[in-house]
Structure 1
Amino acid sequence: MTSSIAGLHHITAICGDPEQNRRFFAEVLGLRLVKKTVNFDDPGTCHLYYGDEVGTPGTVLTFFAFADAPAGQHGLGGASEIAFAVPSASLDFWQTRLAAYDIESGRQPRFDDEVLCFTGPHGNRFALVASEAAGRIDAWHDAPVAGEYAIRGLYGVSINVAELAPSAGVIEQVLGFERSAQAGDRVRFVAHDNPGPGAVLDVCVAPEMTAQRQGVGSVHHVAFRASDEAEQSALRKRLVDRGLQVTEAIDRQYFMSIYFREPGGVLFEIATDGPGFVVDEPVAQLGSGLMLPPQYENQRGLIERALGEIGS
């Protein structure tokens, strides 16, 4: 059996106004804003990270903010839905809470789960999944949502592809996920060694769909965990041996990253668990200031003026 990675590290999506984004994800969903920084490849673009108290891998959702960008389009070669894990019996609370903020939601069964689906303020699609395992994960004690209901991290993500077999080959034989269930055109893969958040990857086979168009409301990439740089390097070799084009390791300050497109066209990343988000801010102050990598510190004034004020 191929050794399994530990599941999802983070998911990065695209949003519009960053302050609207912060209000919804921090104040309505109750996630912690753990880092305000910039896209390291485009320092004029705000990059916001949300997660649990310290941004534990598997709990992290990030956004590139493009205030005036056009709306994206969900489709082939992209991720269509981001799912969070919440404790069992909490969906009534969440449906009421979302309605109070004029967010429509609807319940549906999915495999053995009960799922509450909704669309966020930028057009991104989300689901809250009632999970017994979520209740066993500690909640962030300062969250604006009571611990008995609070989001515990990512549950999983759904991607759209035209053919199952090529994508499944990478998911199973390189990343080490196991195929666990199928319902119609949705095939579920799980990281079998992961008792925590971010263990689920759903592959939706929909050859009739048009291609994803990047923009506000779309997912930019899906990141998986590597425990360290040695594991990341080994995974990179396995991907290259399968004929995939993979970047060299890139320093993202909070983790090291490699990127590749899986055969269905979805942009995947493999990110190391460390060093984590406390390398440049103490835990108590995470997300409170604009943190820049060293190469952009000499442009801080210009960047701050371009990004504007974002709360914490």
Structure 2
Amino acid sequence: MATIAGIHHVTAVCDTAGQNIAFYADLLGLRLVKRTVNFDAPDSYHLYYGDELGRPGTLMTFFAWPDTPHGRLGTGQVESIALGVPPDSLEYWADRLANRKIDAETVERFDERLLRFHGPDALRLELAETEIDAEPWEGGSADPEHAIGGLYGVTLALEGYERTADLLGAMGYDAVGEEDDRFRYVASDEPGSILDVRCRPGLRRGRIGVGSVHHVAFRAADSAIQREWRETLVGRGLDVTPVLDRTYFESIYFREPGGVLFEIATDGPGFTIDEPETSLGEELRLPDWLEPRRAEIERDLPMIFYR
């Protein structure tokens, strides 16, 4: 069976859509490739950011849940999200963040340099210098020489790591290093291929809310491979959802042994299925089954202010 190529997208929870767009599109220079709603709760926005086309491995997405309590960082959660930038780019980004009065610090991990900071709602973010080949969106606000090319990876905080490590091995991840309480796994040489697991048994259980990660989605090349994975995961004793139509990809969801919500999403059909490439993210898009409710949904959604 085909292994997992890496992360498809990471979905987090934010407060207001406007503040989110101002940070991820205007400051970080990612392209807002889709402005839609949470298909399971269409009274809230679902925003997608990525490269020019929102290719798998470049995507960050957000559920906008205004007035929702902040999450609590702990075990059973994604601790931080890392985005990839070209070598010798951290000074550029440190200055760019400082100009917005955002504190950042440079750290080293596995002989790599990273810039660590907080996004809106205190979401933990990192920029990692990487040689992984990725093409940033040329229309973004950042200098193309230093622009974000996509995801680099995520860090999971878990009470114990052994059962999760066994699952990652089955998914095609290779264990490549250990540093203090951190264990590194790599899926491929594509964007979004790094997954770090921190073993933190003394940390309390995390809680989902604003400023926390909701789930991590992994890549399946097509629906046939995704269905094979569903059978495999069920065979390992995991509770897996039926295949769900997300318009831009199909999804299955399950909780890995440490409690983090995982998704396996197909690479296609992609974000140009309902919008031309030149105008991605400019209008509110709804799936076919929600179109009859468009007037009601648009009435209930908050206005977006961000400039």
Which of the five TM-score ranges fits, normalised by the shorter chain?
A: over 0.9
Residue 194 of structure 2 aligns to which amino acid in structure 1? V
The count of corresponding residues between Structure 1 and Structure 2 is 306
Q: Output the CA distance in 2 between the equivalents of 1:148 and 1:266.
A: 35
Computed over aligned residues only, the root mean square deviation of the Cα atoms, in angstroms, reads: 1.2
Other-structure match for 1:139: 136
Match of 1:211 in 2: 205
Offset of 1:47 from its aligned partner? Answer: 0.4
Partner of 2:161: 164
Cα deviations across residues 259-281 of structure 1 (Å, max 9, x unaligned)? 00000000000000000000000
TM-score normalized by the length of structure 2:
0.97
Partner of 1:47: 46
Aligned equivalent of 1:178: 174
Alpha-carbon deviations, 1:227-259, whole Å to 9, x = none? 001110111111111100111100000000000
Q: Which amino acid aligns with 1:223?
A: A
- The residue type paired with residue 302 of structure 1 is E
Structure 1 residue runs without a partner (length 5+): none
Once the two structures are TM-superposed, the CA of residue 3 in structure 1 deviates from its matched residue by 4.6
Aligned-partner SS, 1:235: helix
- 1:308, CA displacement in angstroms? 2.9
- Residue 262 of structure 2 corresponds to 268
AA matched with 2:16: D
How far apart, CA to CA, are the structure 1 residues paired with 2:42 and 2:82? Answer: 29
Paired residue type of 1:38 = V
The amino acid of 1:110's aligned partner reads R
- What percentage of aligned pairs have identical amino acids? 50
**Aligned pairs for 1:147-296 within 5 A:** 147-173=144-170, 175-191=171-187, 194-296=188-290
Task: Report the AA paired with residue 183 of structure 2.
Answer: V
Q: Aligned-pair distance for 1:131?
A: 1.0
- 1:137 offset after TM fit, Å? 2.2
Residues in 2 aligned to 1:98 and 1:305: alpha-carbon distance in whole angstroms: 35
**What's the offset of the Cα at 1:132?**
2.1
Instruction: Return the alpha-carbon distance in structure 1 between the equivalents of residues 125 and 154 of structure 2.
Output: 9
Take 1:311 and 1:282, find their aligned partners in 2: how far apart are those partners?
Answer: 24
> Deviation of residue 112 (structure 1)?
2.0
Report the residue type matching 2:192 in the other structure. Answer: G
Stretch of structure 1 that moved more, 136-145 or 160-169: 136-145
**What is the SS of the residue equivalent to 2:121?**
coil
- In structure 2, what is the equivalent of residue 86 of structure 1? 85
User: Given that residues 39 and 46 in structure 1 are in contact (C-alpha distance below 8 angstroms), is that contact kept between their aligned partners in structure 2?
Assistant: yes
Q: Please name the residue that 2:33 is paired with.
A: 34
State the alpha-carbon separation in 2 of the partners of residues 206 and 38 from structure 1.
35
The aligned amino acid for 2:166 is G
Task: Determine the C-alpha separation between the residues in 1 that align with 2:102 and 2:300.
Answer: 30
Aligned to 2:114: 115
Distance 1:76 1:207 in 2: 8
Question: How has the CA–CA distance of structure 1 residues 236 and 184 changed in structure 2, closer, same or farther, with 3 Å as cutoff?
Answer: same
With 38-47 and 302-311 compared, the bigger mean Cα shift is at: 302-311
Q: Contact 1:22/1:311 (CA < 8 Å) preserved in 2?
A: no
**1:195-242 deviations in Å (ceiling 9; x for gaps):** 220000001100111111111000000000000011101111111111
Check conservation: 2:97, 2:103, Cα contact below 8 A: yes
* Partner-residue secondary structure (3-state), 2:191: coil
Q: CA deviation at 1:311?
A: 6.7
Amino acid at match of 2:13: I
1:305 aligns with 2:304: no
Aligned to 1:73: 72
Deviation at 1:4, TM superposition (A): 2.4
Query: 3-state DSSP class of the match of 1:201?
Result: strand
